[in-house]
Chain A
Amino acid sequence: MLGIDDPWILAGYGLAIGFTLICIVYGWWKRNEEDGEED
């Protein structure tokens, strides 16, 4: 698929892009998060 022999390589690309999207969504979602009570 896409000229790449190994599905593990495609999975690596998928996960790298997926985690980047998670980071973007998380950062936006929590952009105004107040500091919690921590020891």
Chain B
Amino acid sequence: MIDTTLFWAFTLLYVAMTLFLGYLGFKRTKASEDFMLAGRHIHPWIIGLSYGATFISTSAIVGFGGTAALYGMGLIWLAMLNISVGVLLAFVVFGKRTRVLGTKLKAVTFPDLMGKRFKSPFMQYASAVIILIAMPLYAAAVLIGGSRFVETALGVDYNLALIAFAAITAVYVTLGGLKAVMYTDAMQGIIMLVGMVVLLFLTFSLLGDPVTAFTKLSNLSPSIPTSLSSKGMTSWTAFPTFGSEIWLTVVTTIIMGVGIGVLAQPQLVVRFMTAKDNKALNRAIPIGALFILLTTGVAYTVGPLTNVYFSETTGKIAIAAAGNVDKIMPLYIESAMPELFVVIFMLVLLAAAMSTLSAIFHTMGTTAGYDLWSHVKRVRSVEGYDKPSLNANKAGTFVMIVLSVGLAYLMPDGIIARATAMFMGLCACAFLPAFVHGLFSKSPSTLAAKLSLGLGGVTWFFWTFFVHIKESSILGVCKFLTGQDAILGMPWQVVDPMVIALPVSIIALVVGWVYETRLPESEAKANGGTGAD
């Protein structure tokens, strides 16, 4: 347990800075476009830091760091995908086009962009509904991650930590909108960067230079429990055996699910629309890439090395010492690091949790307040058509925050990394093919987009509820209807829903597109029409 005076001094300073930046955002938020898109003229450095801080949450540090402690250093491939796909491809290919289209169509949210690009209210509503179903899962996972650390390291009651997290974030998101979110993200991103770099250096100073530390980790292979070795785990410094159960989990769920799913995450897509021009996006790319390397790269390196620390100090590997994947990183910090760093790392996790939470809360709020509530109201009443309600967005944000906190109490332990992967996988399956089609096709097909979103989403839900055993056994729907946890046997039970649903979504898009392009123009429009400009 650490010195409480030190803890409270740092915490109060951090909260004061957060609220001050939130207040700046509030003062500069005059209209709905400020609340939803930060006025479309955010500084490149803030875009880069905000993108990174939103992308990397406590899930990445606590959840995936703990998962790396369990499954080994193969997760570094996730960091590689986070940078190559999540930053380079996302900014250069997707970001610029998203910004141009968003400005041209006057889109203010991700569902709004989908609806306007395909000239289809269905696309807007369906995207909004998927966001409102899946995003609270992610929000709850982030809340749990931050609260667990505070509980483990500081002895603060878990429920109190969870409520405090949500309440402080709620204040500045609800009042200051995206400006407050991005200003605070930048400050939080800097804290995360500094903290993670220090964590890496302290870990190597504790365990020896990198070669010594990695050699010690390799030499721990005989300590791998049978429960893991029988499923393909051979070493913490090697990939699991190709095609084994753990290999499938690591590659399909963790690396691909999160690595690819990032491209169509609504809260990240919106950040591209806050840039004034392409210059701003280009200048944000180095900041974003360095940020991801120094946060995820450190988490996926230090995570496995915790096995060396726990083995030397307790004679147990990390999972045995902590008892739960989500408790490995907090326990390591609390027991191995100097007192001052425990406080700093608590700020890192507070910052990571708040930056991601605020983005999720903001996205859910604008989706509920604008894409559903305001839009439905506008359709019924022409009055106020071009004036999305600021109050509706604020009310929507508040309601979704309350729902997420409720869900955090219901979700089981050890769920952080899995819930994150679920959210990102669903985003990829439901949104990615249609989003890519909408961005890059000169005549995007509405029918193709509807088929892709619908079939991709339905397939993902089906596989999650009835086949992928880690979710289906917890959700219980399959057991209730069929008497068994999953309707298919191995290896299907460990194949991530995204591996099945994303190809279905892509095929549906291609079939719909080909079908619509072969129809006469009048018939195509009668069938839902092409969204061509």
The interface of chain A, by Cβ under 8 A from chain B, is 2-6, 8-9, 12-13, 15-17, 19-20, 22-24, 26-28, 30-36, 38-39
Contact = CB atoms under 8 A, between A and B. Distances in A.
A27 B214 contact: no
Nearest to A32: B279
A31 B100 CA distance: 17
B285 A26 contact: yes
A9 B239 contact: yes
B284 A4 contact: no
B425 to A, nearest CB: 21
Contacts of B211: 2-3
Interface in B275-296: 277-279, 282-290, 292-293
A34 B216 CA distance: 51
Interface residues of B, number: 46
A36 B292 CA distance: 28
A27 B285 contact: yes
Contacts of B83: 16, 19-20, 23
A22 B88 CA distance: 8
Contact of A4 (B80, B237, B442): B237
Nearest to A26: B285
Nearest to A16: B80
A35 B84 CA distance: 23
B87 interface: yes
27 contacts: A3-B215, A3-B216, A5-B234, A6-B235, A6-B237, A6-B239, A9-B237, A13-B76, A15-B77, A17-B293, A19-B80, A19-B88, A20-B289, A22-B88, A23-B285, A24-B285, A24-B286, A26-B88, A26-B286, A27-B282, A27-B283, A31-B279, A31-B283, A33-B278, A35-B100, A35-B277, A38-B100
B293 A16 contact: yes
B475 interface: no
B334 to A, nearest CB: 26
Given A8-B77, A13-B297, A19-B83, 4 more contacts: A9-B238, A19-B80, A30-B278, A39-B442
A9 B283 contact: no
Contacts of A3: 210-218, 237
The 3 A-B residue pairs whose C-beta atoms are closest, nearest first, are A3-B214, A23-B289, A3-B215
Contacts of A27: 282-287, 289
A19 B282 contact: no
Contact of A30 (B76, B282, B290): B282
B84 A19 contact: yes
Contacts of B238: 4-6, 8-9
